[in-house]
Amino acid sequence: MKKRIAFLSVFAALFVLCLGLGGCGKKGENGTLTVFNYGEYMDMEVLDMFTEETGIEVLYEEALTPEEMYTKYKHGAIEYDLLCTSEYMLQRLMAEGELQPIDIGSMEYADNIGDRYWEFARSFDPENQYVVPYFWGTVGILYDEDKVKAPVDSWDVLFNGEYKDEIIMQKSMRDAYMVALKYLGYSLNTENEEEILEAQNLLIRQKPDVQAYLVDEARDELVAGNATMAVIYSGEAYLGRQYGLENGRNLKYVIPKEGSNVWLDCWGVTKHCDNMDAAQKFLDFLCKEDVAMMNFEFIYYSTPNEAVIAELSDEDRADEALVPADDAMDNCEVYTVTNEETTELMNRLWKELGAE
């Protein structure tokens, strides 16, 4: 999922005002699309280019998290036509009948999306009918090569007791348990209570070695030299490495050999959209090489657009945070929605872990 926290766009307030005045959504020569995305997750010039090319106006709103997006969408004050969110939230929306099928075969540029990413999407959209991949990434370890005792290739470095008070874990329930579950050899989507309890015990034993549970701040702590390693999202790892070099830090990112999470942000068309032709034109436009390159250079997260990947520098293609090696992905999984009992169990255990 998209992890970089951003500020809500002023477009949200302007759009609500337009609705109140009436007629604002009818200005486009060929109609209007209402698009919902994460903050700072698209080059705004792309929207102007799309309108210029198609005559379709885009009303654009942003959210901070998948949960915020879901709440605002379900509240129904605005009928969004398209939204971009994380795989588990898209799965939830699909199960609730909130998304329409997309005729991906009719899209001219959809073939720019590599087969690997359509396969990732099949974990929650089995027939590739409802979503179009946008950005993706992994969760791994960003570490200071000058401080570790040996090259890092395993989650074991977080649990072997050799780095007391030098570890930053993710302040995220699923990501924290994912690390423990994958280290123990279990699926990150397990619904087995014994496996989850085993992961809990491991995280409790690890806690004295954990300096802090953070999200995006983890990157900054490593850049500042305040920690040796952190569980981090690949997009943040890429930025961390760049900032680290500027500050004399030799930071490296690795996907542990036991496997990890592959997160996938995708676009879906909501049941409220009554102009599917316009919606598919928008999705196809995002798949064009030049447009996808603009968004990649704006965001610098891993792109599923292979036409863009082919144009990257040798340095970027060799960066595990941007283009992981095929074998690094062998044991990785996409999050899926767990049953209610498992979710309640993990919520309870997460609170207990925080209270330890």
Residues 51 and 168 in one domain: no
Q: Looking at the 3D structure of the chain, how many domains does it have? A: 2
Looking at the domain assignment, is residue 17 inside a domain?
yes
At residue 121, does pLDDT exceed 80? yes
Enclosing domain of residue 347: 138-261+328-355
Which of 173, 168, 189, 339 has its CA nearest to residue 259?
189
pLDDT tens sequence across 293-336:
999 999 989 999 999 999 999 989 888 899 998 888 889 999 98
Whether 202 and 155 share a structural domain: yes
Tell me what percent of the residues of the chain surpass a pLDDT of 70.
92
Round to whole Å and give the CA distance between 303 and 264: 10
What contacts 166, CB < 8 A, 6 or more positions away? 147, 209, 211, 227, 228, 229
pLDDT value, residue 345: 97
Name the band, by pLDDT with cuts 50, 70 and 90, for residue 210: very high
Is residue 304 domain-shared with residue 339, that is, in the same domain? no
Task: Answer yes or no: is 287 within a domain.
Answer: yes
Question: Which amino acid is residue 164, in one-letter code?
Answer: K
78-120 pLDDT, tens digit each: 999 999 999 989 999 999 999 999 999 999 999 999 999 999 9
What pLDDT was estimated at residue 27?
A: 46
Please give the Cα distance from 231 to 245 (Å, whole number). 19
256 and 266 housed in the same domain? no
Does residue 292 surpass a pLDDT of 80? yes
What is the average per-residue pLDDT within 197-222? Answer: 94
Does residue 23 form part of some domain? yes
The answer to whether residues 112 and 39 belong to one domain is yes
Of 325 and 267, which is predicted with more confidence?
267
My answer on whether 279 and 191 are in the same domain is no
**What CATH number is attached to the domain comprising 33?**
3.40.190.10
Q: How far is CA 241 from CA 21, 67, 129, 190, in A?
A: 48, 29, 37, 32
Look at residue 4 and tell me if it is in a domain.
no
* Burial letters 74-84, b for 16+ CB under 10 A, else e: eeeebebbbbb
Q: What is the pLDDT of residues 154-165, one digit of tens each?
A: 999 999 999 999
Same domain, 306 and 201: no
Q: Is the residue at 3 inside a domain?
A: no
**pLDDT, average across residues 331-350:** 93
Tokens of 254: 């690795």
User: Is the model's pLDDT at 237 over the cut of 60?
Assistant: yes
Please indicate, yes or no, if residue 1 is contained in any of the structural domains.
no
What is the arithmetic mean of pLDDT over 164-187? 96
For residue 50, give every residue at least 6 positions away whose Cβ sits within 8 Å of its Cβ, in sequence order, or none: 56, 58, 281, 282, 285
Is the distance from CB of 256 to CB of 155 less than 8 angstroms? Answer: yes
Return the top range by mean pLDDT from 12-26, 163-177, 312-326.
163-177
- Do 226 and 343 lie in one domain? The reply is yes
Q: Are residues 202 and 346 in the same domain?
A: yes
Compute the distance between CA of residue 122 and CA of residue 131 in angstroms, rounded to an integer.
Answer: 10
Q: How confident is the model at residue 355 (pLDDT cuts 50, 70, 90)?
A: confident
Are 214 and 159 members of one domain?
yes
Question: Using 50, 70 and 90 to split pLDDT, how confident is the model at 25?
Answer: very low
Average pLDDT over residues 271-277: 96
Do 81 and 191 sit in the same domain of this protein? no
Closest Cα partner for 12 from 55, 87, 69, 57?
A: 69
Residues 98 and 156 in one domain: no
Q: Is the pLDDT of residue 168 over 50?
A: yes
